[in-house]
């Protein structure tokens, strides 16, 4: 038990020595920050010169700069209003620096309520609905117009051919008919049963 008490006393003494060697540090550490809401940051510095406060993000061993909040803070305090463009995350940290002094950091904290670049653009669903509307209306606009029905050839009325007019009999036709009819007649003076034709020859 005495050993653990000695260990805790030694750790506290070591922290005091480190703090004395690096007097530049934040004295108030935010745990959760909301965008648009002012945050009062307090710090101590070895001199009255201005300090620079930078917002960083990432893993503890690989933090990247997000924005420089100020380069001229003095008097041991600074009011910070987080931008609404910051994406929500739980891996933010603040760095404080001053000329001829060692930099120092806060612990990781969370920022909530921001939009940032990770949110989906509002115009995406609008463009999708317009495309769907266009794709549904195109088949109606491009549908072919049916051609008018053509009548069947059987139903077409064709004019009847003109009837030929009767021609009057010619003189040759009349003479031939007369001779043919007379050849069949018997001569009145004939005493035999023979018949004569129009040439006078016996049949």
> Which domains, ranges and CATH numbers included, belong to the chain?
26-112 (2.60.40.10)
pLDDT at 174 over 90: no
- Using the predicted structure, report yes or no on whether residue 61 has a pLDDT greater than 80: yes
107-162 residue pLDDT tens: 999 999 977 654 333 344 444 444 444 444 444 545 566 666 665 555 555 666 66
pLDDT in tens, 6-59: 544 444 444 444 445 569 999 998 888 999 999 999 999 999 999 999 999 999
- Closest among 77, 57, 74 to 66, alpha carbons compared: 57
Query: Does pLDDT of 179 surpass 90?
Result: no
| Extended strands (E) in the chain | 25-26, 32-34, 39-44, 51-59, 62-73, 77-80, 89-97, 104-105, 109-112
Cβ atoms < 10 Å from Cβ of 92: 20
Mean pLDDT of 52-74: 96
């Amino acid at each position: 038990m005495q050993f653990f008490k000695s260990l805790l006393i030694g750790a506290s003494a070591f922290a005091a020595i480190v703090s004395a060697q690096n007097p530049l540090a934040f004295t108030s550490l935010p745990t959760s920050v909301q965008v648009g809401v002012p945050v009062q940051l307090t710090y101590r510095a070895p001199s009255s010169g201005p300090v620079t406060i930078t917002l960083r993000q990432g893993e503890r061993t690989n933090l990247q700069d997000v924005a420089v909040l100020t380069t001229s803070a003095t008097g041991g305090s600074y009011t910070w209003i987080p931008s609404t463009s910051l994406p929500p995350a739980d891996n933010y940290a603040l760095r404080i620096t001053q000329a001829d002094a060692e930099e120092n950091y806060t612990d990781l904290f969370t920022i909530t309520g921001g939009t940032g670049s990770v949110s989906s653009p509002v115009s995406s669903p609008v463009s999708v609905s317009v495309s769907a509307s266009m794709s549904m209306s195109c088949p109606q606009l491009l549908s072919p117009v049916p051609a008018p029905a053509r009548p069947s050839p059987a139903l077409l009325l064709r004019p009847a051919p003109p009837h030929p007019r009767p021609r009057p009999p010619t003189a040759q036709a009349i003479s031939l008919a007369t001779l043919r009819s007379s050849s069949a007649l018997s001569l009145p003076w004939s005493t035999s049963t023979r018949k004569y034709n129009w040439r006078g020859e016996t049949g």
